Structure 1
Amino acid sequence: MNTLLFLITCIIWSTTWAMIKIGVEETPIMLGLGLRFVIAGLFLYVIIKIKNRKIPFDSQLIKLYLVSGLITMAFSYYCTYYGTKFIPSGLSSILWTTLPLFVGIFSHFILPGGKLSFWKFISIIIAIGGTSIILSDQSLIFSKDLLVGSLIILIGVVASAWPNVYLKIHNDYDSLVLTCMAMLIAGFIHLMGATISNQWDKMVWDFKNLGAIIYLGILGSAIAFYIYYTLLQRINVVKVTFITLIVPIFATMVGWAFLKERVTVKEILGGIIILLGVFLYDWDKYKLILIQNKK
Structure 2
Amino acid sequence: MSRHRTLVLFVATAVLFGTSFVGIKAAIGSVPPVLFAALRIDVAAVVLLTLVTLRGGYWLPRTRADVLGVLASAAFVLGANNVLLFLGQQHATTGAAAVMYSLVPVISPVFAMFLLADERISAVDAVGILFGLAGVVVIVGPESVLGGGSAGQVLVVGAAVSVAFGTVLLKRVGPTIGTIPLTAWAMVVAAVGIHAVSLGLGESPTQVVWSPTIVAAILYVGMPATAAAYPVYFALLTEAGPVRGNLVAYALPIVATFFGWAFLGESVSAGTILGFGVIVSGFLLVQRESVARIVGTAGHRPAETE
- Identify the residue that residue 165 of structure 1 maps to in structure 2: 168
Q: Is the 8 A contact 2:102 2:253 kept in 1?
A: no
Match of 2:282 among 273, 277, 287: 277
The 3 A distance-change label for structure 1 pair 56 and 206 is same
Q: Do structure 1's residue 45 and structure 2's residue 49 form an aligned pair?
A: yes
1:235 matched to 2:235: no
Once the two structures are aligned, what percentage of the paired residues are identical? 23
State the AA in 2 paired with 1:13: F
Q: Is the 8 A contact 1:38 1:183 kept in 2?
A: yes
2:71 paired residue number: 66
The amino acid that maps onto 1:243 is V
Distance between the aligned counterparts of 1:145 and 1:214, measured in 2? 34
Equivalent residues of 1:38, 1:188 under 8 A apart: no
Q: Contact 1:131/1:248 (CA < 8 Å) preserved in 2?
A: no
Query: Which residue of structure 1 lines up, in the alignment, with residue 300 of structure 2?
Result: none
**Secondary structure class of the residue paired with 2:150:** helix
C-alpha deviation, 1:83, in angstroms: 1.8
Unaligned runs of 5+ in 2: 293-306
1:264–1:171 Cα change, 3 Å:
same
SS of equivalent to 1:242: helix
Q: Residue 153 of structure 1 is aligned with which of 156, 159, 162?
A: 156
- Asked whether 1:114 is paired with 2:119, we answer yes
Match among 16, 24, 39 for residue 12 of structure 1 = 16
Q: Which amino acid aligns with 1:42?
A: V
Which stretch shifts more, 208-217 or 188-197? 188-197
Q: Which runs of 5+ in 1 are unaligned?
A: 288-295
Alignment TM-score, normalising by the size of structure 2:
0.81
Q: What is the alpha-carbon distance in structure 2 between the residues aligned to residue 93 and residue 285 of structure 1?
A: 24
- Cα offset for 1:58? 3.0
Could you state the TM-score of these two structures normalised by the residue count of structure 1?
0.83
Structure 2 contact 84–155 (Cα < 8 Å) conserved: yes
Deviations 1:181-211 (A, max 9, x none): 1111111222234345351211112212221
CA distance in 2, matches of 1:255, 1:32: 19
In the other structure, the counterpart of 1:291 is none
- C-alpha deviations, 1:50-85, integer Å up to 9, x for none? 212331243221111111112221112111111222
Q: Deviations over 1:197-254 (max 9, x none)?
A: 3512111122122211111111111111100111111113222111110122334555
Give 2:249's match in structure 1, choosing from 244, 269, 272: 244
How far the C-alpha of 1:260 sits from its partner, in A, is 10
Q: Which secondary structure state, in structure 1, belongs to the residue aligned with residue 224 of structure 2? A: helix
Count of residue pairs brought into register by the alignment: 284
Q: Which residue of 1 aligns with 2:303?
A: none
Asked if structure 1 preserves the Cα contact closer than 8 Å seen for 2:21 and 2:94, the reply is yes
Q: After the TM superposition, which residues 86-97 of structure 1 pair with which residues of structure 2 at under 5 Å, given as runs?
A: 86-97=91-102
The 3 A distance-change label for structure 1 pair 214 and 103 is: same
Once residues 249 and 43 of structure 1 are traced to their aligned partners in structure 2, the CA distance between those partners, rounded to angstroms, is 28
The one-character-per-residue Cα deviations of 1:133-172 (angstroms, maximum 9, x if unpaired) are 5xx499x999x99533222222222122111112222152
Do the aligned partners of 1:105 and 1:116 also contact (CA within 8 Å) in 2?
A: no
Task: Judge conservation of contact 2:76–2:165 (CA < 8 Å) in 1.
Answer: no
CA RMSD of aligned residues (A): 3.1
Q: Please tell me whether residue 36 in structure 1 is matched to residue 3 in structure 2.
A: no
2-side partners of 1:263 and 1:157: how far apart? 22
In structure 1, give the amino acid aligned to 2:89. Answer: T
Report how far residue 98 of structure 1 moved. 0.7
The residue matched to 1:248 in structure 2 has which SS?
helix
Q: Per-residue CA shift, 1:72-121, capped at 9, x if unaligned?
A: 21112111111222233322212111100110111122212212333212
CA contact (8 A) 2:90 2:152 kept: yes
| CA distance in 2 between partners of 1:286 and 1:228 (Å) | 20
